[in-house]
Amino acid sequence: MSEATTPSEPTRKAEQADARARPGADRDPTPAEEAAADAAASRMDEATRRSVGRHEQDMARRGVEQRGEGRIDQKEPRPGS
């Protein structure tokens, strides 16, 4: 392992900005991205939809139960809800 280094001032400022940033997308989807998502969703069968829904619920549950970095705050509304 290499020896320890001291972060530069720009690096420290960038890390501080990252620490204050809210989680989530940095922009809304473009019309083309929305159209592609809608087209993909329309091709899914019902079994796939249910499977995706169960997976999303499982990942949300795991996020709520997570400790430390990566934890989901239960009081924050989910995007799109």
Reported confidence tier of residue 57, pLDDT bands at 50, 70, 90: very high
* Phi (first) and psi of residue 34, to 5 degrees: -65, -45
**What pLDDT, in 10s, does the model give residues 27-44?**
999 999 999 999 998 898
Least-confidence region, from 6-15, 26-35, 63-72: 63-72
Check: pTM over 0.75? Answer yes or no.
Answer: no
Is pLDDT larger for residue 43 or for residue 23?
43
What is d(CA 32, CA 38) in angstroms, rounded to the nearest whole number? 10
Helix (H) or strand (E) holding 26: none
